Chains A and B, each alone.
Chain A
Amino acid sequence: MKAATRGVVGGIAAAMMLGAGALVAGIVEDRFDHVEHAKLFPTCEGCHSGAAAGDFATTYPSAESCATCHDGTIEERVTWTPPTRPGGNNLRFTHPEHILEVAGEHGADSALACAACHIREGQPWMTVVRASGRRCLACHEIAGRHYDAPDLACATCHVPLAQATALPADRIREFETPTSHQAPGFGLDGHGKLAETADGGVAASCATCHAREFCTSCHVNAPETRAIQALGADPRSLVHEASLEEPPSHERADFLETHQRDLRADASACQTCHTQESCLACHVGQPKVARQLHAAGPGRGAGAGTVRRRPPSHALDFSRAHAEPARSAPGTCATCHLVTTCLDCHRPNPADGQSVTSAPTGSPGRGYHPPAFLTRHPAAAYAQETECADCHNPATFCQTCHAQAGLRAVGQLTAGFHDAKQFFLVGHGQAARQSLESCTSCHVESDCLNCHSAVAGRGFRPHGPGFDPDRLRRKNPNMCTACHGTAIPRN
């Protein structure tokens, strides 16, 4: 037997042990040249004697029987070794069962019975082909596309994937996608409805192509889902990859505000894709409602990876607009943010370049202050564009930096640094009351007490509108003693 013939004979075996992939492929020509041998073999049983009985050992001709002719004299010698075990497939099909049925129609003659499946109608004897899936569907009266067969019909020919232990993973990977899988909503609750049977089992159509591991790759609630548990376990099912689909509810404008309510009302939908850790991606601490979700663990899907999303209130540039709502309702902010998050922007970092923020974005030029703020901070600080002291301690920040730059009062009543106004010293009171915080970034109390102390100074009264001497004396007279000593006036 020619060496090439080995493959042809192997093809015969494959034809007889047809798997799901081949069924779909339609009629495939057998590469063993049966036609060449047509005049030699009047029946199939001559070579495939065990096929009808389901005896695999005698389903293929032995090497010796081929050598009867292919002995090197009569015909060229060939090497041939019959397969020792059936090829992998997921068929429930057996030849003995089918032979009986076919025999009833065509008679016991194997030439007719086998030809019913393995020779095209109207073709001459020995034009052998592999049996086709279409023929299976036709005989079993299953209309439509093979992969779109009704649920129960799958089990007519196929065993569940987990039982088809010999089916190679590559063949599983080649399974086609049924049309039902393309339907809108199938990836959400659609497939679940199809999968679960009334008796708590799983639909045969699912089990034919999938096993439990496939479902668990997504489903956090796999241990609690009866249909998934009804599936057999088979890691080969992971050759098919699934991805989580975001439900339309998550796209709702108010989803961030309402998702806790949804979870409280019906946790089952959330439990499918989310673990308790999903909540931690956004929420500080674990909200009580999160306990309705399952904790991550073995046998469960990793779950949807949640990412922080800006709530609608944070539209556009919320960083410029968050101050008022944050002051009014800090508890709302605390739902998602730690105070240390605030400090990323609200506490200066001396090693930050002017251009680079320490904010989470790490984006250059997008810190709390606008670009080049250092060069224009006097104007913003004078009129307190924002509350500087919330983030910048006047002593550790303003005074330290100004002092290092030489900008500190020298304690003398001179024209001083403010040289743009001839009589600034005389008229500084208005400026001081308008922006006392700016003054204190360079001046210390003793500078002012040179003139404003009633005891050691010149007695200029610094008190202005809103000054309530009685209240201040009552609350803390120590402040008064700085200027008045122990002789604090009564009003």
Chain B
Amino acid sequence: MRRAALVLLLAAVPASLGAQGYRVRLDSRLQTLSFRGAEADSIPSTDVVTGPDGSLLSPDGHAVRCFGGWCYFWRAGDEMEAAPWVTSADFSVWGLGVDGLSVRGSAQAALDISGGAAFAGTEPPVQLLEGYLEYARGAVTARAGRQLVTGRLGFLGFDGARATLRAPSLGLEVGGYGGWSLARGTSVPWTSPAANPLGEYRPEDRLVAVGASAAWRSKWADLRAEYQREVDPDVDKLTAERVAMGAGIRPMARLSLSGGGEYNLAEGVWGSADASLRYSALQLEVAVGGKRYRPFFPLWTIWAAFSPVAYHSGWGSLQVAPHRLLRLRVRGERYAYEDAEAENPLSQVEDDGWRFSWGATVLPHADLSVDADYHAEKGPGASSRGWSASASWRPGERLSLTGYAANTLRPLEYRTDEAEAWWYGADATWEALPDLRLGVGVTRYDEDRGRPDAGAIDWSQTRLTFRVSWLLDSGADRWRLPPGAMPTTGGEQ
């Protein structure tokens, strides 16, 4: 079976290449869930009844808003069920007969086995997140295929080529890339039907993306500049053009200052930016920072012309481990929007907000951890506050059990909705073999929409999850599956 899986994955590679090493991680997950949406409805204003408190209601008890002889409301939609099943494969193959040549990739097959409407993220059924041939030797790295570039301008996926040149002695690195881009945050282009669920305007042809970057690294500092541009070849017009600068400075051990920002050349406006000062020690991390966030919209949409405004925030965080069995954390942030120049006395909305959270992790035993967190945020549009707690126990080297619960209060500003949700469940992960991990979980959501009328949609449900993760390798390296889960705040291995 192990060989069969490898053969399938290497089908595209000529057998004569005789790969010397490979690593494949197969991951299969299934979730069963249900959801109940809302459905717009209306009645003639003559059918409206008056409630005991004088409010206007539909005959079946929904609060209505009347407008031009008709009254509108949203009623609960049908309960829908979904069972998305996603299997992904991450693979690396090297030793292809040419020193420095390798193939890397990540693909995903998704299927909703419930037979109902396809759940978000399951279209198209087969997606290639990354898949490229890489040649890395000395000062040169070249790639061809589907790949992602990351940086201050976010994640950009494209089908094309990329080259990077390095001068390690000088700490310099320059690179460039070009190809047909993918829609941001997904592995399909904007021309894919999957990227147009509401039937909006979309480019006729795939956009062409080009970009370049230059970086300098030293022991004390990093500097990086990025340029990125997308063109719609159908109309031969620019849809995005941005530059970004970033820097990281380490004036002394454990102290770092990092930050940067982007400028939208297409619109002529500053985009998002951030800066943070961080002190990291084994038992202490203190950080303060500031952030500016302005959304980015490509010019093939009209949204850039609606002049989205940025918000500015200041934040601070502290994590401390006063004892080896205890970790504490707290974070706070305040933000305020720039003047939108669209205030209206008839509909005042908030233009600033804050976020706050604190939490603790207790490790009473090497195989037991308990986490508890509280959060609160209040801002325009919506607010929320609540807590969560979990306890994880590892009764053996290969088994991990977790129980958890959470509560959230979620008042909305623009919608009459004071929902309170309870969330609780359990999860088990079993490392059946050193390279094989199985998991099962159950989660129950109980929600009270907090509306006095029939518009209090019941969304409560139970979700089941199943997971299988399998690592295959040629034994030429020592990567294994991560050790049995102990969900400390440290998270990573």
Q: Which positions in A face B, CB cutoff 8 Å?
A: 253-254, 277-278, 280-281, 285, 288, 296, 305-308, 310, 312-321, 324-332, 338-340, 342-343, 346-356, 358-366, 370-372, 375-376, 378-380, 382-385, 387, 389-397, 399-401, 403-408, 410, 413-424, 426-438, 440, 444-446, 448-449, 452, 462-468, 471-472, 475-480, 482-483
Contact = CB atoms under 8 A, between A and B. Distances in A.
Top 4 A-B pairs, shortest CB-CB distance: A427-B347, A415-B65, A405-B37, A464-B307
B350 to A, nearest CB: 9
B282 A375 contact: no
Among B117, B289, B300, B490, chain A packs the most CB atoms within 10 A around the CB of B490
Chain B binding surface SS class: strand
Contacts of A429: 340, 342, 344
Interface string B349-371: 10101010000000000000001
A343 B321 CA distance: 29
A343 B129 contact: yes
Contacts of B309: 433-434, 464-466
A419 B247 contact: no
A404 B306 contact: no
A430 B343 contact: yes
A431 B414 contact: yes
20 contacts: A315-B319, A325-B258, A329-B222, A353-B463, A355-B427, A362-B467, A363-B487, A365-B487, A372-B406, A390-B154, A415-B66, A420-B413, A421-B349, A422-B346, A429-B342, A430-B347, A434-B349, A464-B340, A465-B341, A478-B232
A395 B197 contact: yes
Contact of A339 (B148, B267, B278, B340): B148
Among A315, A392, A396, chain B packs the most CB atoms within 10 A around the CB of A396
Contacts of B406: 371-372
Interface string B192-204: 0011111111000
A390 B120 CA distance: 17
B377 interface: yes
Interface residues of B, number: 196
A434 B351 contact: yes
Contacts of A408: 198
Given A349-B121, A359-B491, A479-B299, A415 B340 contact: no
Nearest to B99: A286
A375 B419 contact: yes
B30 A351 contact: yes
Interface string B477-489: 1110010011101
B306 A363 contact: no
A339 B65 CA distance: 49
A441 to B, nearest CB: 10
B476 interface: yes
A480 B302 CA distance: 8
A316 B305 contact: no
A313 B104 CA distance: 28
Contacts of A435: 380-381
Contact of B342 (A321, A385, A389, A433): A433
A389 B307 contact: no
B268 A471 contact: yes
B347 A393 contact: no
Nearest to A367: B491
B367 to A, nearest CB: 14
Nearest to B85: A351
A355 B308 CA distance: 33
A389 B478 CA distance: 35
A362 B247 contact: no
Given A364-B485, A390-B154, A472-B267, A430 B110 contact: no
A479 B300 CA distance: 6
Interface in B443-493: 443, 445, 447, 463-465, 467, 469, 476-479, 482, 485-487, 489-493
Given A424-B347, A436-B308, A350 B120 contact: yes
A465 B340 contact: yes
B287 interface: yes
Given A349-B88, A356-B427, A363 B130 contact: no
B421 A375 contact: yes
Contacts, number: 532
Given A328-B248, A379-B379, A396 B27 contact: no
Contacts of A449: 302
Nearest to A328: B246
Contacts of B355: 385
B278 A366 contact: no
A277 B476 CA distance: 7
Contacts of A378: 381-382, 384, 410, 412
B210 interface: no
Given A375-B408, A405-B77, A427 B489 contact: no
Given A351-B29, A353-B31, A365-B388, A430 B340 contact: yes
Given A350-B110, A479-B300, A436 B295 contact: yes
A471 B228 CA distance: 18
A327 B381 contact: no
Contacts of A413: 67
A476 B299 contact: yes
B277 to A, nearest CB: 10
Contacts of A314: 280, 492
Interface stretch (B3-11, B43-51, B237-245): B237-245
B306 A328 contact: no
B443 A354 contact: yes
B152 interface: yes
A237 to B, nearest CB: 26
Contact of A445 (B110, B302, B477, B490): B302
Interface string B293-333: 10111011111111111010000010101000001010100
A397 B184 CA distance: 11
Among A339, A356, A416, chain B packs the most CB atoms within 10 A around the CB of A356
A183 B41 CA distance: 84
A331 B491 contact: no
A437 B253 CA distance: 40
A321 B303 contact: no
B437 interface: yes
Contacts of A319: 491-492
A391 B344 CA distance: 34
B404 interface: yes
B477 A363 contact: no
A339 B285 contact: no
B186 A465 contact: no
B260 interface: yes
A273 to B, nearest CB: 13
A421 B414 contact: yes
A254 B65 CA distance: 65
B84 A396 contact: no
Contact of A383 (B267, B379, B400): B379
B96 interface: no
B212 interface: no
Given A328-B248, A330-B150, A464-B307, A416 B349 contact: no
B425 A355 contact: yes
Contacts of B392: 363-364
A445 B493 CA distance: 45
B398 interface: no
Nearest to B347: A427
A387 B404 contact: no
A471 B267 contact: yes
